[in-house]
Amino acid sequence: MKAVTLLLALATFGAQANHEHEESHSHGAHEHGHGLLNFVVDGNQLMIELQAPAADLVGFEHAATTAEEKAQYAKALAQLKQPETLFGIAPAAACQLAHQEIKAPQPEEDHEGHDHDAAHDEDHADHDHDAAHDEDHADHDHDAGHEAHEGHDHDAAHEQHEHADLGAIYTYNCTAPDRLNGLTAKLFSVYPSLSKLTVQGILPSGQTAAELTPTANTVNW
């Protein structure tokens, strides 16, 4: 199976997990301390996908604004680039990291178009007063709808940002894939607030699932 097929398999797992995660959000719950771990073993490749709340991986979910927060965010991203501190593969010498992709939300961009709106309002001020008066109600309705729409978008974006997740996908090349027999989540000691990982895996022998905790942090096959 090619790497792209493995990615699709992980994406299927991820979509299902995200759906369940979104359902919990729709009920007003964002479960800090709960992460998702997906993995695929096929041929000579092992792929691992991690996803967890930014609150657990970074320490906060809002946009980093201060120098201290930006440094903390950069440190979290750097930590995700060291999978050897996050996972243990048994046996350890069976696989070597070949590629990694960090999955992190982009910093919020400044809103654009304010100057355009200001110029637009100024142009309206230059119009004939009577014409402006005749169109006042229509403009008011339009602006109200526009503001309501903007408010809705802002609230949705705010909600999404408040529930931000971080994660990564790691691809390993394995010299002896048939010797692989377990995966240990060492990341509980790296992220103390993370208390649970929902695990789903695809193996040559079929599928597996588990729930890992700091005291039971290994899935064997």
Give tens-digit pLDDT for 31-40: 789 999 999 9
CA distance 46 to 82: 16
Instruction: Tell me what pLDDT residue 49 has.
Output: 97
Residue 153 placed within a domain: no
Give tens-digit pLDDT for 115-144: 444 444 544 445 444 544 455 544 545 454
Residue 96 placed within a domain: yes
Amino acid at 129: H
Model confidence, pTM: 0.68
CA distance 13 to 40: 10
For 212, counting Cβ atoms within 10 Å of its Cβ (0-12 exposed, 13-18 middle, 19+ buried), the class is: buried
User: Considering only 60-74, 133-147, 194-208, which range has the smallest mean pLDDT?
Assistant: 133-147
Q: Rounded mean pLDDT of the chain?
A: 76
Evaluate if residue 157 carries a pLDDT over 90: no
Q: Six-digit token pair at 82?
A: 């060291």
For 40, counting Cβ atoms within 10 Å of its Cβ (0-12 exposed, 13-18 middle, 19+ buried), the class is: buried
pLDDT interval class at 163 (50, 70, 90):
low
Amino acid at 178: D
Evaluate if residue 147 carries a pLDDT over 90: no
CA distance 152 to 74: 31
Amino acid at 183: L
* Domains contained in the chain, number: 1
Q: Six-digit token pair at 149?
A: 């729409």
pLDDT interval class at 164 (50, 70, 90):
confident
Q: Six-digit token pair at 133?
A: 């008066």
Residue 132 placed within a domain: no
More confident call, 148 vs 45: 45
Sort residue 96 into left (φ over 0), alpha (ψ -120 to 50) or beta: beta
pLDDT-above-70 percentage for the chain = 60
Residue 12 placed within a domain: yes
Give residue 215's Cα distance to chain centre. Answer: 25
Could you tell me the residue range of the domain that residue 37 belongs to?
A: 3-104+159-220
How many residues are given for the chain?
221
Residue 189 placed within a domain: yes
Residue 33 placed within a domain: yes
Residue 76 placed within a domain: yes
Instruction: Tell me what pLDDT residue 143 has.
Output: 53
Residue 20 placed within a domain: yes
Report angle CA 83, 85, 88 to the nearest 5 degrees.
80
What is the C-alpha radius of gyration for the chain, rounded to an integer number of angstroms?
24
